[in-house]
Amino acid sequence: MADVEATVERWFTVLNETDAAVRAALVEEVWTANGRWVDPPFEGEGREAINGMVDTIYEAYPNHRFRRAGGIDAHHDSLRIRWELVSPDGDVVIAGTDVGVLDGDGRLARVTGFFGPLPE
């Protein structure tokens, strides 16, 4: 399996890029052509849809940024990461966990996001 750390770091670069044209090129590097990203409020399939989902986030949360909130748990073709969406003041406004699947080249093929902690 390719370098998972590099893939995850590149994914966060995608998430924090506000210029859609620049981000589109990054999405091509990180995601498979038919990749699928599913979060509680929305889902998208394909690189164009994934790029558009990031635009939607920044329409709702301008000037916010994503950051990792821990290490990477990975095995075989799967990974799990915790993240936070942080306001310009440094407040965490949303936190969650993403579970991803990588293709043989180390690109993201699917990411499923969950918001908040696990239920009791």
pLDDT along the chain (120 residues), means of 10: 86 97 97 97 96 96 97 96 98 97 96 92
> Tokens representing 48?
């164009």
Please give the pLDDT value at position 117: 86
Which stretches of 3-79 are DSSP H helices? 4-15, 20-30, 47-60
The model's pTM is 0.92
Structure tokens at 43: 């889902």
Angle formed at CA 98 by CA 103 and CA 10, multiple of 5 degrees? 60
Q: Which domains does the chain have, with CATH numbers?
A: 4-115 (3.10.450.50)
Handedness of CA 23, 17, 59, 44 (dihedral sign): positive
Strand partners, 99: 80, 112
Q: Which pLDDT score is estimated for 120? A: 86
